[in-house]
Chain A
Amino acid sequence: MNPHLTTALRTAFEELAETAPAPVGLAQAALVSARRQRVTRLAVGGGFAAAICAALIGVVAVIAPISGTAGDQFADNGLRPLVVTAYSGIRDPKIDDPSPHFQYSLLLNAKTGRYDRVPYRYAMPSPDGSQVLVATGDNSPRHPTRAGVLDRASGNVRWIADSGSTGGARFPADSNDGRWSPDGQRILFTHMPRTGTPGFVLVDSDTLTTTFVPLPDLAAQNDQATGLIWTPDSKGLALTLSTSVDEPTVTGIRIYDLAGRVVRTVPASGGPLDAVSFFPDGGQLALAPYSDGVRQTSVTVVDPVTGAVQHSFKVPLSGGLIGWTDDRQLLIRVVHDAGGIPASDQPAPVLGPGDDEYDRLLVVDLTGRVTHSMHLPAEYADHLFIGSSDGLPSSAAKITF
């Protein structure tokens, strides 16, 4: 082989190898997956039904509340106020190809109180539950990324038009998976192309018209590359500002209006951040780091206007923040056997049978005390979406919290 061709090949591979930095959280994700696979094998070997999809609901079980009363508010039909409305992004073990294109999601069927399997790797129900933001593809030529809105009643999907390539950037290929606004009128996509101007895309949920709003500084002060989130009034967007020296550190929260103008920047501090969640009245903002599976999760609740810390506490297990259940409690997702229960000045939650085999949702108050715990399905979903349990049949009581 001639040296020019050798050089050309080396150059091509070197360029490919430099196209993206290594993702964060690899070790933790691998440890979690390894544990999950171990549990799955044990379950199959033990003769348990390994069926998934609709049958997943069969392994969702509520264990007795650990303590407290705030999480025990039952309606007359035995339903608690909230329910997981979608498990989004589940890998099908029957398919070896790891591409997210082959993932599926589970949507709660309000009539039956059970979950329906849908062939989308991402599925986020709208606030009123009538529509679902869905996505397919993996950005490859064979499976290009597509995003659309599924109508629950008809089952039809209206696909959002691909913008094509502009300055090397594509939508929706170079955007995240999108989020409904709290009022359900728009969908937000954070747009962070490898080259070109970052920003966000707003999609009108009725017409699916798209509006790109450039935010040139989106990546500059956002070393953790977290996406934008809606403010509770649907009139603004919040960005967590962070910087990386040895490890990512949160430095503030910036609020933009929907034209991309900075409304205010609020100082905030903290370590590596994974999730940010507004309480719906806009008065509280919860910040939580990545779950490392070992250390207790530290949660900080700040005033979104001043940045003043309102609460700071540790959850007695390592978990990820999902959101608020009410103004005094948060929802934390804990991965099974994630390092056990480390030494803590907090009382350890009492575990029920099988608690070391399933992921769990914990309801915790603003001191870190666990008030309720619920098993999650054995199959891991990338995203959980939470909604009201209103209208569910009483048979669904066991999956509410």
Chain B
Amino acid sequence: MDADLDREFSDFVAARSHALFRTALALTGHRQQAEDLLQTVLTKGARHWGRIRSGNPEAYLRTALYRQQTSWWRSLRRGREVSTEQLPEVAATADATATVDLNLALRQALAQLAPKHRAVLVLRYFEDRPDSEIAEILGCTQSTVRSQAARALARLRELCPRLDILATKEAADR
């Protein structure tokens, strides 16, 4: 890249790195891994900046974030899930103080999801993307998105039984 393109790329990163890093954190749940993920994707962006700058570079990079994250793990872990930390014991009741515990347990459960499952949940519940866009970003069909999301939620409930308390609560609210 020449100096003008370098500056343009640097300006873009300065403006958007906060938002991209938030997504990387949501995807990885780990600061160091989020930094590495974003750095890898930005390096790709820098290499192709001359080509992507005229389109929607943020969309390009955001898609690259998701695909990079899922492909790393697909190639290296071959279906293995992320480490299995000890989960907190399940609370017997759903009271106000349990909310904090629930958040913690949920985050720990998210850390144990397969990357593609987690990516679907991040896109759907963090970025509020419709299934059509999620499918486009992840390079799969909408039915795959729906099935992955269903499996992700089922796995979350397995890992974090406290989530069933929420379902009970909603039923009571009705």
Contacts and interface: CB of A to CB of B under 8 A. Distances in A.
Contact of A16 (B6, B26, B36, B166): B26
Interface string B94-128: 00000000110011001100000000011001100
B13 interface: yes
A96 B25 CA distance: 19
A326 interface: no
Contacts of B18: 21-22
A8 B47 contact: no
Contacts of A167: none
Given A142-B83, A339-B6, A17 B23 contact: yes
B65 interface: no
Contact of B13 (A4, A26, A139): A26
Contacts of B37: 98
B138 interface: no
B166 A13 contact: no
A37 B32 contact: no
A392 B97 CA distance: 65
A10 B39 contact: no
B36 A2 contact: no
Contacts of A29: 39, 42-43
Contact of A139 (B9, B17, B32): B32
Contacts of A245: none
A20 B25 contact: yes
Contacts of B106: 8-9, 12
B14 to A, nearest CB: 7
Contacts of B1: 31, 34
Contacts of B10: 27-28, 31, 292
A27 B122 contact: no
Contacts of B9: 27, 30-31
B32 A99 contact: yes
Interface in A104-153: 138-142
B82 A142 contact: yes
Contacts of B85: 141
A235 interface: no
A3 B25 contact: no
A6 B149 CA distance: 12
B43 A33 contact: yes
A14 interface: yes
Nearest to A139: B32
Interface of B is mostly: helix
Nearest to B71: A96
Given A23-B35, A339-B3, A96 B22 contact: no
Nearest to A138: B32
Contact of B6 (A15, A138, A293): A293
Given A27-B9, A37-B43, A16 B29 contact: yes
B103 A17 contact: no
A22 B17 CA distance: 6
A38 interface: yes
Interface in B56-71: 71
B34 A9 contact: no
B153 A1 contact: yes
A313 B82 CA distance: 50
B151 interface: no
Interface in A65-123: 96-100
A12 B169 contact: no
A99 B14 CA distance: 24
B107 A5 contact: no
Contacts of A138: 30, 32-33
B89 interface: no
Interface string B160-174: 000100110110000
Contacts of B44: 34
A100 B32 contact: yes
A21 B75 CA distance: 29
A29 B33 CA distance: 16
B141 interface: no
A294 B25 contact: no
A18 interface: yes
Contact of A13 (B34, B102, B125): B125
Contacts of A21: 18, 21
Interface of A: 1-6, 8-23, 26-31, 33-34, 37-38, 96-100, 138-142, 292-294, 339-340
Given A11-B103, A12-B103, A98-B37, 19 more contacts: A2-B170, A5-B167, A10-B126, A13-B125, A13-B126, A17-B25, A20-B25, A21-B18, A22-B17, A26-B42, A27-B42, A29-B43, A30-B43, A34-B43, A96-B75, A96-B76, A97-B76, A100-B32, A138-B30
Enumerate the 6 nearest inter-chain pairs by beta-carbon distance, A residue then B residue, closest first.
A30-B42, A27-B13, A98-B36, A22-B21, A34-B46, A17-B22
13 contacts: A4-B170, A8-B166, A13-B126, A18-B25, A27-B10, A29-B43, A30-B13, A33-B39, A98-B40, A138-B33, A141-B82, A142-B83, A294-B6
